[in-house]
Amino acid sequence: MLIFCPTCANILIVEEGQKCLRFECNTCPYVHNITRKVSNRKYLQLKEMEDVLGGAAAWENVDSTPERCPACDHPRAYFMLIQTRSADEPMTTFYKCCNARCGHRWRD
């Protein structure tokens, strides 16, 4: 938590005083003794992220290939090719396990 000096608006630092801790300004003579616990807790809201691959609907009409799933060892996986980098780089292959109970996703 940052606390600012009411005189010059610089950040106050915590210094050890004679009997207690205190807020002190480095640029002006402002000093404020800390008499109680100072805390502030703020919970940030996370943004909702869209699925980069298009969500569950993107996997509806894709082909499958004989690629072994690293999670459940199922012999087939759905795949799709997506250009994730610049045009002179190769496309990235994304896989999804054909086993309905697994559904593991990975890329190559």
User: Residue 49: what residue type?
Assistant: M
Q: Rounded distance, CA 14 to CA 22, Å?
A: 6
Tell me the pLDDT tens digit for each residue of 52-65: 667 777 778 888 89
Task: Pinpoint the residues of the chain covered by CATH 2.20.25.10.
Answer: 1-38, 57-107
pLDDT in the model for residue 108: 84
Q: Is the pLDDT of residue 1 over 90?
A: no
Q: What number does CATH give the domain 57-107?
A: 2.20.25.10
Cα distance between residue 84 and residue 82, in whole Å: 6
pLDDT at 76: 93
Closest Cα partner for 69 from 100, 24, 27, 30?
Answer: 100
1-38 carries CATH number 2.20.25.10: yes
pLDDT digits over 13-68, tens only? 988 877 788 899 999 999 988 888 877 888 988 877 666 667 777 778 888 899 99
Q: What is the pLDDT of residues 66-89, one digit of tens each?
A: 999 999 999 999 998 888 888 898
| Contacts (Cβ under 8 Å, ≥6 apart) of 33 | 17, 20, 21, 22
